[in-house]
């Protein structure tokens, strides 16, 4: 079996090499993303493993078919940048890594929230300038707040555990309820209800498709004054301009954004000393009440190792048995 792994970062390499050695499978590691220009590197291989934020071009899948490759295994969870129709047309199966470390993302959400509630961004900036004054950065305590968890999949549930540990009141919403949380009476019936009751709204939902935002001017108007929004899910869940305006005009207390609707091509690149041509992004970065980070909630040693190895295991299962536990239903 010969596999090719695309878009591999330096921090992933050692896990892939280790896996290849243990499993005695040839894995060619390439840094290039999977594009119509680079797909020919895969000619002669049995399966493609990849990760990228950039949309996968349908042409890539026509080429895979031409080369007789019928499985692509992603190292991440999100499949919103994959054109399913092109996969179906070319009889290509797709796997993802549905759970590499829900705790990594849950812990990061809470870390961001705590930093925001204690005004750390502003305080650190002040201290950097030798301004040691307390006011106006008085904090708020999590144990006094109602946290609304939107989405109770693995990540949402890991977050709930942590919030309960802090003594916060937790309410939740999901289209598909979790039995245990339901028994605890944690669910509200609608997302609107959650937005109305919560002091903190934390998003653990997949993308709902372009234009289908959960947080926008209309929903913000329904939210409590001084509420906080935390997003480690997908940038397109939020109308970012509306959110920025609501923080700037004092309706909302602030936001923690680890994802941003226009992040592709910017996040995980070094723009030191360059002009940013995204004015909204500049404003988010400047705001003392918005903590913006470049999609790093997942970025831990445990998660990266799991992404590298689980994707390869799924590929082996697909090639050996024709299926795997992580195959995506392309008709859903
Ligand atoms: C995903 O797994 O889809 C993520 O959003 C994390 C990614 C940046 C590797």
Task: State whether the beta carbon of 76 lies less than 6 angstroms from ligand 1.
Answer: yes
122 CA → ligand 1 middle, Å = 28
Asked if pLDDT for residue 183 goes beyond 90, the answer is yes
Confidence of residue 67 (pLDDT cuts 50, 70, 90): very high
- 140 assigned to active site: no
pLDDT tens for residues 208-237? 998 999 999 999 999 999 999 999 999 999
Confidence of residue 170 (pLDDT cuts 50, 70, 90): very high
Catalytic residue among 93, 204, 295, 318: 295
Q: What mean pLDDT do residues 247-273 have? A: 97
247 CA → ligand 1 middle, Å = 27
| Of the listed ranges 21-25, 207-211, 321-325, the one predicted with least confidence | 207-211
What was the pLDDT predicted at 76?
97
Q: What mean pLDDT do residues 17-36 have? A: 98
pLDDT tens for residues 193-203? 999 999 999 99
User: Rounded mean pLDDT of the chain?
Assistant: 98
Q: What mean pLDDT do residues 87-108 have? A: 98
Confidence of residue 125 (pLDDT cuts 50, 70, 90): very high
What was the pLDDT predicted at 66?
98
Q: What mean pLDDT do residues 43-52 have? A: 98
Q: What mean pLDDT do residues 29-51 have? A: 98
Asked if pLDDT for residue 70 goes beyond 90, the answer is yes
Residue that is written with structure tokens 């050692």 in the block? 14
What is the spatial distance between Cα 260 and Cα 137, in angstroms, rounded to a whole number? 26
Task: State whether the beta carbon of 298 lies less than 6 angstroms from ligand 1.
Answer: yes
What is the spatial distance between Cα 155 and Cα 204, in angstroms, rounded to a whole number? 7
Whole-model pTM?
0.95
What is the spatial distance between Cα 104 and Cα 158, in angstroms, rounded to a whole number? 9
Task: State whether the beta carbon of 79 lies less than 6 angstroms from ligand 1.
Answer: no
Do the strands 169-173 and 200-203 form a parallel or antiparallel pair, or are they unpaired?
A: unpaired
Q: What mean pLDDT do residues 52-60 have? A: 97
Q: What does residue 5 show for φ and ψ, rounded to 5 degrees? A: -115, 115
Catalytic residue among 263, 282, 318, 327: 263
Q: Which long-range contacts (CB under 8 A, 24 or more apart) does 240-244 make?
A: 240/280, 240/284, 241/280, 242/215, 242/216, 242/217, 243/215, 244/280, 244/283, 244/284, 244/287, 244/290
pLDDT tens for residues 101-119? 999 999 999 999 999 999 9
Confidence of residue 49 (pLDDT cuts 50, 70, 90): very high
- 133 assigned to active site: no
What was the pLDDT predicted at 332?
85
Q: What does residue 151 show for φ and ψ, rounded to 5 degrees? A: 105, 110
Do the strands 254-257 and 228-231 form a parallel or antiparallel pair, or are they unpaired?
A: parallel
What is the spatial distance between Cα 332 and Cα 311, in angstroms, rounded to a whole number? 21
């Amino acid at each position: 079996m010969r596999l090719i792994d695309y878009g591999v970062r330096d921090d992933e390499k050692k896990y892939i090499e280790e896996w290849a050695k243990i499993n005695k499978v040839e894995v060619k590691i390439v840094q290039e993303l999977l594009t119509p220009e680079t797909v020919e590197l895969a000619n002669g291989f049995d399966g493609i493993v990849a990760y990228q934020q950039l949309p996968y071009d349908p042409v890539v899948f026509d080429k895979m078919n031409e080369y007789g490759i019928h499985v692509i295994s992603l190292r991440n969870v999100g499949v919103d940048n994959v054109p399913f129709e092109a996969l179906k047309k070319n009889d290509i199966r797709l796997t993802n890594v549905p759970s590499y470390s829900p705790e990594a993302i849950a812990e990061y959400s809470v870390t961001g929230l705590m930093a925001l509630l204690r005004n750390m961004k502003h305080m650190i900036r002040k201290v950097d300038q030798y301004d040691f004054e307390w006011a106006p950065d008085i904090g708020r305590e999590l144990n006094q707040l109602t946290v609304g968890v939107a989405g109770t999949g693995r990540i949402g549930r890991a977050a709930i555990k942590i919030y309960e540990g802090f003594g916060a009141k937790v309410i939740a919403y999901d289209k598909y309820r979790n039995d245990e949380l339901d028994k605890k009476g944690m669910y509200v019936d609608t997302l609107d209800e959650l937005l109305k009751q919560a002091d903190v709204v934390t998003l653990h939902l997949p993308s709902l498709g372009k234009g289908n935002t959960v947080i926008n001017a209309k929903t913000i108007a329904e939210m409590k004054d001084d509420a906080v929004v935390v997003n480690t899910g997908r940038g397109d869940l939020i109308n970012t301009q509306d959110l920025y305006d609501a923080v700037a005009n004092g309706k909302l207390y602030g936001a923690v954004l680890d994802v941003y609707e226009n992040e592709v091509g910017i996040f995980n690149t070094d723009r030191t000393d360059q002009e940013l041509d995204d004015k909204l992004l500049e404003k988010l970065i400047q705001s003392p009440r918005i903590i913006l980070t470049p999609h790093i909630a997942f970025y831990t040693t445990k998660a990266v190792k799991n992404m590298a190895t689980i994707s390869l295991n799924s590929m082996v299962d697909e090639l050996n048995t024709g299926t795997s536990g992580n195959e995506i239903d392309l008709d859903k």
